[in-house]
Amino acid sequence: MKHQLLAPTASSLQRQWLESQELDKEFNEAITQLRGFKAAPHDKALLWLVWEYGLEAILPYSQDLRQTLQQGLEWQRIRGTPKSVLMALNWLQFKNVQLENAKVGRHYYRYQLDLGQLPSDEQVKHINKLTGLSAPVSAKLERLYYGLDVRHQVLSNNGFGQLLSDVSGVPFIDNGKALCKVSFARTQTSSLQGPGVQSSLGHHRQFIQQAHYLSSKRLSDYRLSDKEPSKRPIATSLNRTRHLNVTLAQAGWFGYWNGSWNNDDWRQIPLLVADVKHTRFDQLEPLYFAGASNGRLNIGNSYLTVTLPNSALH
């Protein structure tokens, strides 16, 4: 005790004044704990330390306050660099993000991100806010893409050609304000298994043509009437029959997809299974044609005489 250092002749006032300068044991232990207070703080002091370090802006994107203090201080030291952007997106569980700066000489402070996975609309909003806090003030997030990345095609070097050259994506609108351009592609696959489809098709066609000639047949010639107009009635009949039989042993229908593409599974949606048999038989009306000719056709005999040359007689 400090009062032991006093002279034996010290007055009571001196002894009381010296005792008032001494701290209790509880205060001594509390002061000793302050040496490692920020390294391992108490749970009740976490929010106060977050406010002291100026990390309250990233609280909505972190679930653990201790992790916010640990990573937030590292993020604050490298803030304004590409590494800080990747660290901030890691808080949103985007592990494989690739940052791509614009080409040198054209929009130097513009950049785009390949997220490596498909984000939701709410995550797109958080990404824009975190990149605004992490990137330099003069930098601008130009585009987010995943699955669909079509780059611009330079049509010409003048101003008009540059206006027509653009990358894939559409503006993301939040409360009437365009945040950045997004270019995403969603792929959904499904399969259906069932017995094979049995089908049969039959087609029957019959063509009949009849002709009747008023004629007379002789030994050496075929002569029609040469005094009266010949009458040659002709009748044509065409019959067609078509038969179609299709049997669908089993068919499935998914219906309209009402859920989310990210959370729902097509196996959870009840299927519509039907047994369909279809038979079709068509009988077409016959086609008839009848006609007659009143012209004349005379076929006569030709008599030829063969004359040998004189040289053949000798």
| Domain residue extents for the chain | 19-184, 197-258+265-291
Q: How far is Cα 267 from Cα 271, in angstroms, rounded to an integer?
A: 9
Q: Which pair of structure tokens corresponds to residue 5?
A: 């250092």
Q: Is there a contact between 248 and 275 (Cβ–Cβ < 8 Å)?
A: yes
Q: Is there a contact between 88 and 57 (Cβ–Cβ < 8 Å)?
A: no
pLDDT at 301: 40
pLDDT at 4: 66
For 269-294, b/e burial (b = at least 16 CB within 10 A) is eeeeeeeeeeeeeeeeeeeeeeeeee
Q: How far is Cα 97 from Cα 116, in angstroms, rounded to an integer?
A: 6
Is the Cα dihedral 160, 162, 163, 165 positive or negative?
positive
Q: Whose CA is closest to 118, among 271, 309, 263?
A: 263
Looking at residue 4, the DSSP 8-state letter turns out to be G
Q: How far is Cα 121 from Cα 174, in angstroms, rounded to an integer?
A: 9
Per residue of the chain (314 residues), give pLDDT as tens. Answer: 555 677 888 888 888 888 777 766 667 777 777 777 777 777 788 888 888 888 888 888 877 788 888 888 888 888 888 888 888 888 888 888 888 887 765 555 788 888 888 888 888 888 888 888 888 877 888 888 888 887 876 666 665 555 556 778 888 888 888 888 888 877 666 555 555 555 555 656 665 655 544 445 444 444 444 444 444 555 555 566 666 665 555 545 445 445 555 555 545 544 444 444 555 555 655 555 455 444 444 444 444 444 445 544 44
pLDDT at 220: 47
Query: For the chain, where are the alpha helices, taking DSSP H only?
Result: 12-20, 25-33, 46-53, 65-77, 82-90, 121-134, 159-164
pLDDT at 108: 57
**What separation, in Å, do the N-terminal and C-terminal C-alpha atoms of the chain show?**
177
Spatial neighbors of 169 by CB under 8 A, at least 6 apart, are 143, 144, 145, 148, 181, 182, 183
pLDDT at 188: 64
The kind and range of the H/E element at 199 are strand 197-211
pLDDT at 189: 61
Looking at residue 61, the DSSP 8-state letter turns out to be G
pTM of the model: 0.48
pLDDT at 95: 86
